Amino acid sequence: MNLNQVTLPAADLERSVDFYRRMGFTQIVASPDYARFECTSGDATFSLHRVAQPLPHSHVVVYFETPQLDAEVERLLSAGYQFTQLPRDQRWLWREARLRDPGGNELCLFWAGENRRNPPWRVEG
């Protein structure tokens, strides 16, 4: 199996659509209650669906990987995005920055390179 997409809740769908379009994602589906986007590289997609009210914090984090993490964060900061964590190296060998979308969904922009799938502690077999 392959992961097709993740769908995120959005109480203010229009604001959330604008947020992701300005980030650089390509919108491929639009309806009154649903929007779908292609990622800027690879073939993954994600979507938003309208909800009546914001959902409580779920502790779910959506990860978007980019080898130009620091430059991407600088671009987004210049465009007015607010981060809860600026890029920093993590003990699990990833470099991460974090922010929330208008629906309160936590996003992690990161770069892990080879360590994403093959960390030194990878379980074999």
Mean pLDDT of the chain: 94
Decide: 108 and 64 in contact? Cβ < 8 Å.
Answer: yes
Global pTM reads 0.93
Superfamily of domain 5-116: 2,3-Dihydroxybiphenyl 1,2-Dioxygenase, domain 1 (3.10.180.10)
- Whole-number Å distance between alpha carbons of 14 and 80: 18
pLDDT digits (tens, 9 = 90+) for 35-74: 999 999 889 999 999 999 877 777 889 999 999 999 999 9
Max distance between CA atoms of the chain, in angstroms, equals 46
